[in-house]
Amino acid sequence: MFKTGDRKLIHEDSAFQHASSSSHLQYPHRLNFYDKPPVFDVTIEEFETCALDRLRVLAEIESSAARNRTWEESTTAVRTQCEKHLLLRPNSSKYDDVDGQRRKDHLSHFVLRLAFCRSEDLRRRFVKAETTLFKIRYEDDAHADREAFLNSRDFNCLPVNAEEKATYDTELYSVYNIGPKKEAERRAAFEKEKYLKVKWSRVPDLVEKRRVFLKRGWAYVPSQEQSSIIFQEFETQLDKVLEMTARLLPRLDEDARLVPILSNLSQGFIAGSSSDWMNENGEANGDELKAEMIDDLSKIHFPMCMKTLHDRLQRDNHLKHFGRLQYGLFLKASPYSVFLETPLTMP
């Protein structure tokens, strides 16, 4: 899986085979680290619509985590939402606008990056949801397409040669895990295994699970676990650029067109726009969710500050002026406002 000497995760033959098929595409890879911001013109409507479609997918990811779904259940639910709102076809697709789909994916990521860089909590949740989406896409990607993407990036990994592997044979074999197979099969697979070494801080999940051998700050990662390097790299880079975006965001404060959209998007992420409240066309289920259902929804989906205000309103049948103002704006700005057939009234 790895070419010795250039520190890249590559498959040379796969990269060559896909060079011609993807060379005509503006976005040659389905997987994306979003290193470069979009430089094309977009309308305000497209700006908002793309972001809302991606928000539905990320909301499904958060909803799955809140319900303690298994990985298989979560990926199935997320794939369904992606098919509806954020479709991404492979390079081999002949009947789809592959570049158009990837353009939308690229744009929507950067719009939500602007919306969710505003606080540490939003950044943390956004990074977690985006990393999960990337993992699902990585698993779904065709092997050749995935290898072509890996070949396009330098992950700064050092190959472990046969001599070094032999030096730590006992230690590497003791943490080698390929499932419940016979000892002879396990040893044979280990002999064929290729290793990379990276700084241990780049694969904390593997260190925590004791899946790698550690020596002088280096983690020796077998090929079957090397996707962890890619996921960690994606998460680390996204976390850094979100902090950078937060420092630059004040420049947008005077833009009366974008600031309200970004505020509503971040508020919607706080509230949680679960796909359970959408019909098969991605529209609000107004027939199912009504004003009288807000009390039950508040116990599950409201952020703590709004839940406190809601509980106080239920208890005292009254809120002070600024409490009423804050609670009212929350309901108007959040996804709940489009689900209600009858308006909420407060005494």
Q: What is the pLDDT of residue 253?
A: 65
User: Are residues 15 and 148 in contact, defined by beta-carbon separation less than 8 angstroms?
Assistant: yes
Q: Classify 214 in phi/psi space as left (phi over 0), alpha (psi -120 to 50) or beta.
A: beta
How is the chain split into domains, by residue range? 44-151+252-271, 155-226, 291-333
Beta strands in the chain (DSSP E): 2-3, 8-9, 158-159, 195-199, 213-215, 218-222
Q: What is the pLDDT of residue 284?
A: 44
Based on its alpha-carbon atoms, the radius of gyration of the chain, rounded to whole angstroms, reads 24
Residue 117 backbone dihedrals phi, psi, to 5 degrees: -90, 0
What is residue 213's three-state secondary structure?
strand
Q: Determine whether 5 is exposed, middle or buried from the number of CB atoms within 10 Å of its CB (0-12, 13-18, 19+).
A: exposed
Q: What share of the chain is helix, strand, coil (3-state, %, to 5)?
A: 60, 5, 30
- 298 Cβ neighbours under 8 A, 6+ residues apart: 306, 307, 310, 311
Q: What is the pLDDT of residue 320?
A: 85
Q: What is the pLDDT of residue 308?
A: 86
Structure tokens at 82: 């992606």
Q: What is the pLDDT of residue 254?
A: 63
- The one-character DSSP state at 198 is E
Q: Determine whether 340 is exposed, middle or buried from the number of CB atoms within 10 Å of its CB (0-12, 13-18, 19+).
A: middle
Q: What is the pLDDT of residue 263?
A: 81
Structure tokens at 24: 């005509």
Provide the Cα torsion 344, 276, 49, 299; round to 10°: 40
Mean pLDDT of successive 10-residue segments in the chain (347 residues)?
Answer: 40 41 73 92 91 92 87 94 92 83 95 91 93 95 89 89 93 81 84 91 90 93 90 94 89 75 75 45 48 74 82 84 78 47 40
For the whole model, what pTM was predicted? 0.69
